[in-house]
Chain A
Amino acid sequence: MKVEVGTLEQLPKRLGKCVRVGNRELALFRTGDDQVFAVENRCPHRGGDLSQGIVSGEFVFCPLHDWKICLKDGRVQAPDEGCVKTYRAAVKDGLVYVEL
């Protein structure tokens, strides 16, 4: 299911935004090179609010305990382990779509 979750303008570069769709909470990111990613807004460690993390390249650092998570595949980077759910995101005509 493809859902429209906002406008590209609502996404500042390297600052996350949270959006709720039904019972899901997603963190949306627009990276420095203008790619848009969507992941589940919960760090697998202690449920940290990933949308508030520092974004560097295609990674976000969880604000609670600095876990490093890849936005592309959702993998937690070593030495930590785990995975967050990722959603395919796309931009068309200034609108951001996420595939649920």
Chain B
Amino acid sequence: MKRKLVLIGNGMAGVRCIEEILKLDREAFEITIFGSEPHPNYNRILLSKVLQGDTRLDDITLNSWEWYERNGIRLFAGETVTEVDIKRRLVRTDRGRVVEYDELIFATGSNPFILPVPGADLPGVTAFRDIQDCERMIEYAKTYKKAAVIGGGLLGLEAARGLLHLGMDVDVIHIFDYLMERQLDPTASKLLQRELEKQGMNVLLRKETAELFGNGRVEGVRFKDGTSIAADLVVMAVGIRPNVDLARRSGIEVNRGIVVNDYLETSVPHIYAVGECAEHRGVVYGLVAPLYEQGKVLAEAICGRKGKPYEGSVVATQLKVSGVDVFSAGEFMDGEGTESIKLYDEARSVYKKVVVRQGKIVGAVLFGDTSEGRKLFDMIQRGDSVEALSLSLFAPAALGGKGSLAAAMADTDVVCGCNGVTKGAICQAIAEHGLKTVAEVRDYTNASRSCGGCKGLVAELLEHMLGEEANRYTVKETICGCTDLSREEVLEAIEQRRLMTVKEVMSVLGWKNEEGCSKCRPALNYYLGMLYPGEYDEEAESLFVNERLHANIQADGTYSVVPRIYGGVTTAEQLRNIADVAEKYNVPMIKITGGQRIDLLGVKKEDLPRIWADLGMPSGYAYAKALRTVKTCVGKQFCRFGTQDSTGLGIRMEQTFERLKTPHKVKMAVSACPRNCAESGIKDVGIVGVEGGWEIYVGGNGGTHLRAADLLCTVKTEDEVIEMTGAFLQYYRESAHYLERTSKWVERVGLEHIREVLFDVETRRALLERLHKALSATTDPWRDIVENERLQQLLFRDIGDKEPVSVE
């Protein structure tokens, strides 16, 4: 027998919770939903777009009638629950319907707050809360000219913007000294006001409404200071209050909202509350992201899989108010004990402020250019130190560079060059499938699936389309779609429960796909290898073909072979040997690689082990997520500018760190002078010889995200270079996400933080110890295979040719 689940309220929070329940267990409940509004579930956040006239209700519908039907949900729209009998566990509606429940969820949302002033009930006075309000305002704009919006917060300004669009004259009335005081500081607010006034809004500050007057319908607003204005339409947008009447009448504990614990349980067993009607730890949330978080926790609890409790949300606002980009998060006001970093570009109307408390980023306000909002939000949530701030945040906005690149692009512009995905295709997929994360966009459209170079742009597009909603969904990066766990959570579990195989990790941590996918399997394989050096045996079947076969697969299915040539220095004998092998196996192409090595291209898979045996050289790891090459210049031995022996150090580095597996490929270089012939400035680790010492650069990249390396430190001796490089590599190995290049990693964790770790003598010693343990467990993979007939059979030999002879 299915349990009976009743949801009161057909809004965003409640229905999202139902979606989560369906995901966990489709069969557990017989679901009934009551909604007072006669529509299916729609996205209230986008109401202002409906008001502006460029969007219809259909466009903002989240779940269609068909969705309810398909999921076997009984929906009673336009029907209001009037009574909950908690003893007999049933609800009654205004249509006399009686429905029993085993579990009951309140998601009754909130009601607009209507000022208790005389005249508030006059025709022509409306709130801005639901689709009916919208329709009423659109209707009014057809006949009348003058509108007044009471409330200069987010909602009020959105309403005002919509009315302006509809051709009305708009006064915005605000009781405080400046607009949007809950999201902005005075400076940002003044800029916003200036923009709005430019667009035609008339802003009245410090005005407290005394009464609305009119004969038969509203004709104006009178203020406490005795002044008044004329208005044919008055929109109240002064706040919302949780809709708790029904809960209170039913005997459920209510404060400002319906009081719930960390599992969204009310004071009455089997009754829960989510969304704007709920009060958790004294807070009632009005933004979407927290409501969705609550829905998820409740879904798990109600399905009997109590997981993590809900512990409250950090909220950020990133939105477009009347076409102006505004972002704020955390503690954004200057106050006692805080310092702030500001950029104020009055000419371009750009304002950026980051608030710092005891060296940590605690809040931010951005106006005019909010492109870094999400990054800042992450930093605030993590409590990053101020050193992690990138200077680019405060670089003057490019000429005309207001607004995001994503917004400025045309629909036909290509976002993802690798897969030829246009902005239009991405936006359509986001809208049609309700995509919320970059990963989802990738899965639906292919954008960012290959090199990942367009990830940032895709994220911007998401933000552009979803506003604040996009925020929260990009905060947590799970390993892949097979799990909801992040890298950190998985690593912690592996260590705590001593999970030793990929399979174990997946089954203990409840992977959604029993055998994972092509993303998580290689990642887990790496993490296990990193955590248990010498103990963990790589799983061939969890490796990408390049690493499984220790050669690069080419477009035509052949492979390429790159033997190691330390520091790029070779001998006549080696060259002769390579040439002989190339001839013997009919290698169609011999090429010098970008990393100063020799590549034999077009080799058949079955020939690989024999070629390696004939070469008698170690693997150059040209295929691996490991140390690749150390590029060098000729150095002081030959070059007239060279200050140091760069080839010598390069060879030493390559021999020291050879075979070290890393989250992504690692390239190094050593130059003997600042002319940088070995291109040390765009390598994961780049060494530049100067008179009397070496500069160590890290986090450079010449790939899809071209990035100049940062100077980590300057040292005197080669030994110190080896030591610092080793510690850096080990710390990268331990703390980067699988497939995260050092360039991204350095930006994510911050150079200062890396310095703090590496410059601490004790920590560095411990890192080097772990590094040497990892290094000492490695062997040359080519030789291992050459000497192992079983591996050759398993991995390199096909079954071969079979006669097409029928056996029956």
Residues from chain B with a CB closer than 8 A to the CB of A74 are none
B142 at the interface (CB under 8 A from A): no
Distance of A97 Cα from B804 Cα, bound (Å): 11
Contact of B544 among A2, A54, A59 (CB under 8 A): A54
Are the CB atoms of A3 and B446 closer together than 8 Å? no
Residues from chain B with a CB closer than 8 A to the CB of A10 are 799
Are the CB atoms of B802 and A18 closer together than 8 Å? no
Distance of A78 Cα from B553 Cα, bound (Å): 24
Contact of A21 among B542, B545, B555, B804 (CB under 8 A): B804
Chain B nearest CB from A37 CB (Å) reads 14
Contact of A100 among B445, B801, B804 (CB under 8 A): B804
Distance of A53 Cα from B543 Cα, bound (Å): 9
Interface locus among B114-122, B219-227, B514-522? B514-522
Residues from chain A with a CB closer than 8 A to the CB of B542 are 54
Contact of A46 among B445, B450, B555, B798 (CB under 8 A): B555
Distance of A14 Cα from B515 Cα, bound (Å): 10
Q: How many residues of A contact B (CB 8 A)?
A: 43
Chain A nearest CB from B645 CB (Å) reads 41
Chain A nearest CB from B793 CB (Å) reads 9
Chain A nearest CB from B104 CB (Å) reads 37
Give me the interface of B with A, judged by CB distance under 8 Å. 443-446, 449-450, 513-518, 521-522, 540-545, 548-549, 553, 555-557, 605, 794-795, 798-808
Distance of A61 Cα from B733 Cα, bound (Å): 26
Contact of A48 among B450, B557, B794, B800 (CB under 8 A): B557
Are the CB atoms of A32 and B515 closer together than 8 Å? yes
Most interface-central of B549, B557, B807 (chain A CB within 10 A): B557
Contacts A/B (CB < 8 Å), 20 sampled: A3-B805, A10-B799, A15-B540, A15-B794, A18-B799, A24-B804, A52-B549, A53-B545, A54-B518, A54-B521, A54-B541, A56-B517, A56-B518, A57-B514, A59-B517, A63-B545, A66-B518, A78-B443, A79-B445, A79-B446
A64 at the interface (CB under 8 A from B): yes
Starting from the known contacts A18-B798, A49-B553, A65-B450, 19 additional A-B residue pairs (CB-CB under 8 Å) come to A1-B804, A2-B806, A2-B808, A4-B802, A10-B799, A12-B541, A15-B794, A17-B798, A19-B800, A19-B801, A20-B800, A22-B804, A52-B545, A53-B545, A56-B517, A57-B513, A59-B517, A78-B444, A79-B446
Distance of A89 Cα from B517 Cα, bound (Å): 24
Distance of A56 Cα from B794 Cα, bound (Å): 18
Known contacts A15-B541, A53-B545, A97-B807: A21-B515 contact under CB 8 Å: no
Distance of A33 Cα from B548 Cα, bound (Å): 22
**Shortest Cβ distance from A96 into B: residue:** B799
Residues from chain A with a CB closer than 8 A to the CB of B450 are 65
Known contacts A6-B799, A12-B794: A56-B557 contact under CB 8 Å: no
**Shortest Cβ distance from A27 into B: residue:** B798
A28 at the interface (CB under 8 A from B): yes
Known contacts A1-B806, A19-B800, A20-B800: A52-B553 contact under CB 8 Å: yes
A5 at the interface (CB under 8 A from B): yes
Contact of A3 among B444, B545, B556, B806 (CB under 8 A): B806
Chain A nearest CB from B451 CB (Å) reads 11
6 interchain residue pairs of minimum CB distance: A61-B518, A22-B804, A14-B541, A19-B799, A18-B798, A63-B545
Residues from chain B with a CB closer than 8 A to the CB of A19 are 798-802
Distance of A80 Cα from B801 Cα, bound (Å): 31
**Shortest Cβ distance from A28 into B: residue:** B799
Are the CB atoms of B799 and A5 closer together than 8 Å? yes
Residues from chain A with a CB closer than 8 A to the CB of B540 are 15
A36 at the interface (CB under 8 A from B): no
